[in-house]
Chain A
């Protein structure tokens, strides 16, 4: 099984890597946003009680944005495209166990997510002058990777529920506004009142809280609460993904 998993994972990685529309945007977009929004005011203090600098705060925001972006796009769009091209048909007839295939995609997505952080962190350090304790860098990195797992399921669900041509539209329609409403681009306090009331219930907001807490910014709930929310969303997303997958199975392979 291991050689199979290794091969499949490297193939999945190459498939994504060689599509500049994916690899380019995944790696560069968070850096570009950071350059436009974060760098100019990196040294501004966010005020009491923590006096965290905006550069660090926005790094956490963009780390969350970048990683969730990879999960949703890499799964959502590639699953939808591959379904459209009937790639699942030939794979189904091979001895490749479906869980190995799924696992390889999860590993690839996590690897890609780690890669985006490997680009974003040094950029924030150099261009934004962000200085964190080693433990804070570490905490931000692992929380953001671990917290991205529910979004794998979300991407997977979108990939199975939307068509190959509509997946990109669906994702942009869902993802970008949610990212704004969750305070990833502007701190929540700057958002309209009504959105501020919705945002605590958004998965990306909970994910963002984990990031902001990691760099020492104050958050509205405890980290445990945020994790519980995320686990809840994760369970829900996985349930939808499995349902969508089974629906597809019973249509195509029964």
Chain B
């Protein structure tokens, strides 16, 4: 077992960030923690790393206290919004972090895994945002850890940058290592993980393979207005969630074509029609309503 939360809760003052989370991550697993902002993903990772203490319940790394140096020696970390010294060169800071670990990988290999070969002699402050994010990745892998924790590793990257970064993580996972990452993007979880843990408002609402999760989550959002519409008008459509407010309707579905065809067949006077990709917030609406049913 690599990492474990047992009935963990965490309160920040009056705010309950985690409300009883149990999660076991086995060695060799690649797990994506998916959820909207403020769901408790970062808090879960912080507890597993010993950066925060549980309010109740427990957190374990390799069966040890997460603050134990022996446990930390086997873990590499990439955190959101953490700073690093600006006036060190890339290779210097990689060497520095390597010195923290008992059996680090070669410096040049860590730098290559992050695709920073050309920037090895540059000062940290000279790096672009994306390069800096890759440097954090180099620092996370340079200790040759058994478990890699990545908190929102692709945040702020464009689509291309994200894709390339996901490929680097996948390359590391292929070495048989455990990877735990948090993300906003179902797509990333899908590309990388064998297991997706969905967190919302401090509880785990789903823990399954990416395929299963995708089946439960709506991919498209349909919006329109129609006069005199009621809930019953919409019965029997292949939707995962329905919201009707006055004349405004919002549907979440994985099959927008069928839904639209049915709506037109029912002779509704539709205007302001809009079909968009559902974002994660929407996806969660459908996932949580699934749970309630």
Could you list which residues of chain A lie within 8 angstroms of chain B, going by C-beta atoms? 3-4, 6-8, 11, 14-15, 18-19, 82, 85-87, 89-90, 92-97, 253-254
Q: Per-residue CB proximity of B108-134 to A under 8 Å, as 1/0?
A: 000000000000000100000000000
Contact at B51–A89, with CB atoms within 8 Å? yes
Known: A14-B88, A89-B51, A90-B84. A8 touches B79 (CB 8 A): no
Of B94-102, B269-277, B281-289, the stretch lying at the interface with chain A is B94-102
B57 to chain A, nearest CB (A): 15
Which B77-110 residues have C-beta < 8 A from chain A?
Answer: 77, 79, 81-85, 87-88, 92-93, 95-97, 99-101
B100 touches A90 (CB 8 A): no
- A95 and B85: CB pair below 8 A? no
Evaluate whether A15 and B88 lie within 8 angstroms (CB atoms) in the complex, with A93-B77, A95-B69, A95-B73 already known: yes
Q: Is A15 a contact of B96 with CB atoms below 8 Å?
A: no
**When the two chains form their complex, are residues B83 and A253 in contact, meaning their CB atoms are under 8 A apart?**
no
Q: What's the nearest-Cβ distance from chain A to residue B81, in Å?
A: 6
B97 touches A87 (CB 8 A): no
A97, B82: Cβ atoms closer than 8 Å: no
List 8 other contacts, CB 8 Å, given A4-B99, A82-B83, A94-B100: A11-B96, A14-B92, A85-B83, A90-B83, A93-B75, A97-B69, A253-B52, A253-B53
B92 proximity list for chain A (CB < 8 A): 11, 14
Residues in chain A near residue B93, CB distance under 8 A: 11
Contact of B82 among A18, A89, A95 (CB under 8 A): A89
Roughly how many angstroms separate A89 CA and B99 CA in the complex, as a whole number?
A: 18
A70 CB to closest chain B CB (Å) equals 17
Contact A93 B99 (CB under 8 A): no
In the complex, the answer to whether A94 meets B77 with C-beta atoms within 8 Å is yes
Provide the bound-state CA to CA distance between A135 and B35, in Å.
Answer: 69
The 8 Å CB contact of A7, one of B84, B99, B123, is B99
Min distance, Cβ B79 to any Cβ of chain A, angstroms? 6
Answer whether A96 and B100 are a contact pair too, CB < 8 Å, given A89-B79, A90-B82.
yes
Q: Which residues of B contact A (CB under 8 A)?
A: 49-53, 69, 72-73, 75, 77, 79, 81-85, 87-88, 92-93, 95-97, 99-101, 123, 136, 139, 143
Alpha-carbon distance A7/B75, docked complex (angstroms): 20
Contact A93 B84 (CB under 8 A): no
Contacts of A18 in B (CB 8 A): 87, 123
Complex CA distance for A146 and B82, rounded to whole angstroms: 35
Q: Chain B residues near A93: list those with CB within 8 A.
A: 49-51, 72, 75, 77, 79
List 5 A-B residue pairs with CB atoms under 8 Å apart, sorted by A's residue number.
A7-B96, A14-B88, A87-B84, A93-B72, A95-B69
What is the CA–CA distance of A6 and B75 in the complex, to the nearest angstrom? Answer: 22
> Which residues of chain B come closer than 8 Å to A7, judged between CB atoms?
95-96, 99
8 closest Cβ pairs, A-B complex? A85-B83, A7-B99, A90-B82, A18-B87, A89-B82, A95-B72, A93-B77, A87-B83
Give complex CA distance A93, B96 in Å.
14
CB of B190 to closest CB in A, whole Å: 27
Contact call A14/B77, Cβ cutoff below 8 A: no
Query: Residues of A contacting B81 with CB < 8 Å?
Result: 86, 89
Residue of A nearest to B98 (CB): A7
Contact of A87 among B52, B53, B85 (CB under 8 A): B85
Find out whether the CB atom of B84 lies under 8 angstroms from the CB atom of A94. Answer: no
Give the chain B neighbours of A8 by CB distance below 8 A. Answer: 96, 99
Across the interface, which residues of B come within 8 angstroms of A89, CB to CB? 51, 79, 81-83
Query: Which of B77, B87, B95 counts the most chain A CB atoms within 10 A?
Result: B87
Known contacts A14-B92, A87-B85, A90-B139; A3/B99 CB under 8 A:
yes
- Asked whether, in the complex, the Cβ of A254 is within 8 Å of the Cβ of B53, the reply is yes
Q: A82–B87 Cα gap in the complex (Å)? A: 12
What are the residues of chain A within 8 A of B96 when measuring CB–CB? 7-8, 11
Closest to A89 in B: B82
- CB closest chain-B residue, reference A254: B53
**How far does the alpha carbon of A11 sit from the alpha carbon of B89 in the complex, in Å?**
10
Assembly CA distance A3 to B72 (angstroms): 18
CA distance A96 to B101 in the complex (A): 8
Chain A positions within 8 Å of B53 at CB level: 253-254
Q: For residue A108, give the distance in angstroms from its CB to the closest CB of chain B.
A: 12
- Bound state CA distance, A85 and B72, in angstroms? 22
